[in-house]
Structure 1
Amino acid sequence: MITGLMANIAVTGEKEATAWYSRLFEREPDGKPMAGLAQWLFDEKFGIQIWEDPQRAGCSNVVIDVDDLDKMAEHLRVAGIDHDEPSPGGGQRILPITDPDGNQVVFFGE
């Protein structure tokens, strides 16, 4: 049985991606366990890592459940992260964004 998840997003440059994802998550990474890697932990068994891997950058996709999609859209506006408005998708509303490397982050929720 699965009891946790650490998603990994391949990026061109760890330093630049850390700045962008820090704006997205509204905080600095919780750790940088090795060169080229930064991670944000949302609880003890769930997190997201960015990994410097220029050959694979732009091919990652992560889907994140949020409790208030409209609040997330407002946060993205304030943070200067381009996005469309939330839209219907798969029985929930979705809010897809793309990081500077072309990786897709999709928020979903009410």
Structure 2
Amino acid sequence: MDCEGLVNINEVSGQIFISINQKNKYLLDPLVYLYGGIIKMSPKTEAFEYIIYKKNELFNLIDNFFIKYPLRTKKLNRINLIKEYYLKKINLNNKDVIKLNE
């Protein structure tokens, strides 16, 4: 993950996703079994891309993998902010000023 992975947010939808690129699909298959997510062919490279984006799957991955095996790069900060983001995420129809300021 430190080398081949990304932690991103779609600013339009507010969806967070973690992706990992790998040329060998068989290295990614166990991740789908253990944590959920999907594997698809990456359009940019000749590699496979593992993508996890559902909230409960992200939380499962964080709790059962990243807590036990923390990252060693700046991506650790992004991983640690995922749960906080979902806790503070506001609905556009909600006028909660405190959450908006956070």
Range into which the TM-score falls when normalised by the shorter chain: 0.3 to 0.5
> Under a length normalisation based on structure 2, what TM-score does the superposition of the two structures give?
0.33
The structure richer in helix per residue is 2
Question: Which structure has the higher relative contact order (CA within 8 Å, separation 6+)?
Answer: 1
Highest Rg: 1 or 2?
2
